[in-house]
Amino acid sequence: MLVTIGFDNEKYLKLQSQHIRDRIAQFGNKLYLEFGGKLFDDYHASRVLPGFQPDSKLQMLLQLKDQAEIVIVISAEDIEENKVRGDYGITYDLDVLRLIDVFQEAGLFVGSVCLTKFAGQASAELFQKRLESMGIRSYRHYKIPGYPGDVNRIVSDEGYGKNEYIETERPLVVITAPGPGSGKMATCLSQLYHEHKRGIQAGYAKFETFPIWNIPLKHPVNLAYEAATADLNDVNMIDPFHLEAYGVTTVNYNRDIEIFPVVNAMFELISGKSPYRSPTDMGVNMAGKCIIDDDACRWASRQEIIRRYYNCLCEHKKNGASRDDRFKLELLMKQAGVSIKDRFVVDAALKKEAETNGQPAAAIELEDGTIVTGRTSDLLGASAAALLNALKKLAGIDHGKKLVSPDAIEPIQRLKTDYLGSRNPRLHTDEILIALSSSAAHNPVARLAMEQLPKLRGCQAHSTVLLSSVDEQVFKKLGILLTCEPKYEQEDRKYHKR
């Protein structure tokens, strides 16, 4: 594996923050910046651009914190439907509160919350009252008939004009949301309409890391973005407006290209002239200028596409094949020139399974390319065994050395089966780590193994069966990039605990 840094994060922070300052100045010191994707915890970017830090966008904003305020938008329809963020398992309205806490703790100013697509939803009204009780300013933006096609109606007092004007204080207004489809762009354009009516010059720009506009359309980094959004049917495309205007080939994605004529017409109605000639012009992303090792980013992105493919297969296994994203991912793998054989931990795990008469097995690939495996035993599940073996290897501890005594494992097994009602006595990854940490208090070898845990971040892993949600979360917290075969340990069962 031997991870190589492919992205200059320090250069990115400096270049990106300066580019946004320049865009603020372009529009008379008032810019509404639509922030796509995750403002922090951007692990997709850190996986496909080795060296990109997950909180890079947040750190970049902190360089502008004296100029910036944040407006969080949430769709009233999403509140009504109790829409849930898959990565955190919380509803969008609760995520708004979480985001406010995170931004404020980081030192960023959260100005207000805007409820979009408001149509009198009872749960949205209750959420707004909750915000007001916390001293958080909130505004309502309404559904507009004919949006986004009926431009003349949208850009009028019957359209944007009905929306409440969001009072903002600073030159840079960052519009972000708990998830896609929340109405970020519409909020920005509505504000431009109201600012124009007040005689205030203001501009709009869009900040999304992917697709990266100034690398090839079929570059693995851009293909990995398509893989990440396969369930949304997003497609990277050559920006035809940019090509026509400048004779330069750039990359954008279908939704921005499809909506651009409408957005352009809105600009013209709002202020008489559009500042942009293409969707690419609207963007401010500088990530492509900070790739310092293209081969490293290509390799990392190809691995991400394979992982997305496996994750798709597992989701289909768990929930039924209700989407056709599998076929898109198979096509993306072909375009990237990879197959599952390029994920070396897969073959290692399957071989270990075959050697143990079909018992579940797991494999972990360390940073130097070494692969360790784990098998199912009476004491440990395969993923827990692989985790211990990886720590032994990293610490230079003999493979036959016991890090945790069977005498220490037995009471935990008894607790699980005799008192907590579990049928499976084998220890999961979280349980073996707790046992290891207890042993580390008096066992220097176990302590040495514990100290290796940070070295697992970025390592690859594969399990020959679907893991429990507990095991998945442990691997995620350790930063191990996990895939699983789309099968259960007990395939004949109708119900599987997750």
Contacts of 203 (CB under 8 A, 6+ apart): 23, 24, 26, 27, 28, 30, 31, 32, 192, 275
CATH number at residue 239: 3.10.630.10
Same-domain pairing of 184 and 111: yes
Is 169 within the bounds of a domain?
yes
> Is the domain of 284 the same as that of 364?
no
* pLDDT at site 423: 82
Q: What is the pTM of this model?
A: 0.90
Please report which confidence band the pLDDT of residue 498 belongs to, taking 50, 70 and 90 as the band edges: low
Q: Which of 185, 158, 202, 152 is nearest to 35 (CA)?
A: 185
Distance CA 245, CA 280 (A): 11
Q: Is residue 325 part of a domain?
A: no
pLDDT in tens, 321-377: 667 789 999 999 999 999 999 999 999 999 999 999 999 999 999 999 999 999 999
90-91/84-85 β-pairing: antiparallel
Residue 62 domain flag: yes
Do 25 and 120 belong together in one domain?
yes
pLDDT digits (tens, 9 = 90+) for 29-57: 999 999 987 777 788 999 999 999 999 99
Domain count, the chain: 2
Task: Verify that 270 and 387 share a domain, yes or no.
Answer: no
pLDDT of residue 303: 97
Closest CA to 112 of 69, 79, 78: 69
Residue 390 or 411, more confident: 390
Q: What is the pLDDT of residue 6?
A: 97
Sorted by sequence, the CB contacts under 8 Å of residue 149 that are 6+ apart come out as 262
3-class SS of residue 14? helix
Residue 425 has a pLDDT of 85
Report pLDDT digits (tens) over 154-181. Answer: 999 999 999 999 999 999 999 999 988 8
pLDDT for position 341:
95
What does pLDDT average to over the chain?
93
Same domain, residue pair 255 and 354: no
Q: At 12, is the secondary structure helix, strand, or coil? A: helix
Which two tokens mark 307?
């992982």
Q: Which regions of 155-194 does DSSP assign to beta strands (E)?
A: 172-176
Q: Are residues 267 and 187 in the same domain?
A: yes
Looking at residue 492, its pLDDT comes to 65
Residue 494 has pLDDT above 70, yes or no: no
What CATH number is attached to the domain comprising 376? 3.40.140.40
With respect to residue 299, please indicate whether it lies within any of the assigned structural domains: no
Place of tokens 């395939």: 491
In single-letter form, the type of residue at position 89 comes to G
pLDDT digits (tens, 9 = 90+) for 252-261: 989 889 889 9
pLDDT tens digits, residue range 52-89? 999 999 999 999 999 999 999 999 999 999 998 876 77
Residue 2 in this model has a pLDDT that exceeds 70:
no
- For residues 434 and 441, what is the distance between their CA atoms, to the nearest angstrom? 11
Segment (H or E) for 238: strand 236-238
In a domain, 313, yes or no: no
Containing domain of residue 22, as a range?
9-224+232-290
Please check whether residue 458 lies inside any domain of the structure.
Answer: yes
CA distance 60 to 243: 30
Same domain (yes/no): 206, 81: yes
| Predicted pLDDT at 405 | 84
Residues 253 and 360 in one domain: no
Q: What is the pLDDT of residues 252-303, one digit of tens each?
A: 989 889 889 988 998 898 888 899 999 999 999 999 999 999 999 999 999 9
Here the tokens at position 419 are 């008192």
Q: Which two tokens stand for residue 428?
A: 């999961």
Q: Does residue 463 belong to any structural domain of this protein?
A: yes
Same domain, 396 and 256: no
